């Protein structure tokens, strides 16, 4: 039977796998690609790791010093973001020839295959795996289902290097049996709230009062789960335009002194604006990575695009909010410009117009 099929592609342990392709002697050994802060040889964090490293507990986000403690044999490599992005762009370009493609991240994408049979979907997914391996030497995991969420779940079921295509019967079974913790977008906090309501599996939603669910979870999350449970979820695959730019800078030493942090924060703002290529933000985020690698962030949204000077002032105020509410020292600071808008005409004219009291 022909029906809508969504294909989800995940480039398995992407950064580390690229390094293995370039240097085959790394295969079979624990490898972690890291962001080195530059303070000393142990300063920084793991960005991603291969499966051999993960078996040793070396996973994304842990400090490099901890990775070294977990294994004397782990091979720590510096991140080469431009290299990985170049390969990713080529793969995403190929996927876009198959149908509307939504790039979810540097190593994940959804493709709308249109209305095709199950057999056609399997054949096409197999061709995608073979083509990416032939062109780039990379193994990928693929899931195919009638919607984006189940396509991603199917992909997870087949990792690593897997290919899972869900038919109607398997999707119906998922709607009953999938644990809520396995549903994309449901984190620990939401999972706990659902468990308190007696919802451990998606199928438990049938016995729950919708009004109560909306009151506890909010309209958006409640509707998301309700539509998944009753089989009406149908969010389209959309070509994403980049609407944010962010940059992070490592401090020379951990500190809580705002005057010491400010120049690093402003440098992050400068670099983010440079990457935005003339677009102006309507949203500002300040992200602080604390001494224990925990992440704390604050943000502010505007009704109009703002200038770099306004961004400086806003970022500094958000930094002060973080320092006032959190007593830990800051290790790394970042700024993200969100809801970027291209502004026609000269910036002077734009800001003069805004100051005249007219909304933009």
Catalytic residues, by residue number, are 108
Cis, peptide link before residue 160, omega less than 30° from 0: yes
Q: Which H helix or E strand runs over 45?
A: strand 44-49
What is the distance between the alpha carbons of residues 181 and 185, in angstroms, rounded to a whole number? 9
What is the distance between the alpha carbons of residues 59 and 74, in angstroms, rounded to a whole number? 12
- Under a CB-based contact definition with an 8 Å cutoff, are residues 141 and 125 in contact? no
- Under a CB-based contact definition with an 8 Å cutoff, are residues 175 and 228 in contact? yes
Based on its alpha-carbon atoms, the radius of gyration of the chain, rounded to whole angstroms, reads 23
Nearest one of 233, 147, 209 to 199, comparing CA atoms = 209
* Alpha helix segments (H runs only) across 162-303: 168-177, 188-196, 210-217, 219-230, 258-275
Listed in sequence order, the residues at least 6 apart from 207 whose beta carbon sits closer than 8 Å to its beta carbon are 198
Nearest one of 292, 298, 289, 286 to 325, comparing CA atoms = 298
Q: What are the structure tokens assigned to 144, written together?
A: 């195919």
Nearest one of 179, 166, 157, 287 to 225, comparing CA atoms = 179
Ramachandran angles phi, psi of 246, nearest 5°? -135, 150
């Amino acid at each position: 039977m022909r029906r809508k099929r969504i294909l989800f592609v995940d480039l398995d342990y992407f950064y580390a796998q690229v390094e293995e392709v370039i240097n085959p002697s790394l295969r079979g050994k624990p490898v972690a690609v890291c962001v080195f802060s530059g303070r000393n040889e142990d300063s920084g964090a793991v960005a991603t790791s291969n499966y051999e490293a993960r078996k040793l507990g070396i996973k994304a986000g842990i400090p490099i010093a901890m990775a070294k403690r977990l294994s004397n044999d782990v091979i720590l490599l510096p991140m080469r973001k431009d290299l990985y992005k170049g390969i990713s762009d080529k793969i995403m370009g190929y996927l876009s020839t198959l149908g509307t493609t939504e790039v979810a991240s540097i190593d994940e994408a959804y493709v709308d295959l249109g209305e095709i049979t199950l057999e056609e979907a399997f054949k096409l997914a197999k061709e995608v795996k073979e083509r990416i391996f032939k062109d780039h030497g990379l193994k990928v995991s693929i899931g195919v289902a009638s919607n984006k969420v189940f396509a991603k779940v199917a992909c997870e079921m087949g990792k690593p290097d897997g290919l899972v295509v869900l038919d109607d019967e398997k999707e119906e079974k998922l709607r009953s049996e999938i644990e809520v913790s396995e549903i994309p977008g449901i984190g620990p906090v939401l999972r706990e709230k659902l468990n308190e309501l007696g919802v451990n599996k998606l199928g438990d939603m049938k016995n729950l009062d919708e009004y109560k669910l909306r009151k506890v979870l909010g309209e958006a999350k409640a509707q998301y789960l309700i539509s998944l449970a009753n089989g009406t979820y149908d969010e389209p695959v959309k070509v994403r335009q980049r609407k944010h730019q962010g940059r992070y800078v490592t401090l020379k030493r951990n500190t809580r002194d705002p005057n010491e942090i400010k120049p690093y924060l402003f440098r992050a703002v400068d670099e983010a604006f440079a990457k935005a290529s003339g677009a102006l933000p309507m949203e500002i985020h300040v992200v602080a990575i604390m001494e224990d690698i925990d992440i704390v962030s604050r943000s502010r949204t505007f009704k109009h695009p703002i200038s770099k000077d306004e961004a400086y002032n806003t970022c500094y105020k958000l930094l002060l909010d973080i320092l006032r509410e959190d007593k830990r020292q800051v290790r790394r600071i970042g700024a993200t410009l969100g809801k970027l808008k291209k502004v026609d005409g000269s910036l002077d004219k734009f800001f003069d117009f805004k100051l005249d009291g007219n909304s933009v």
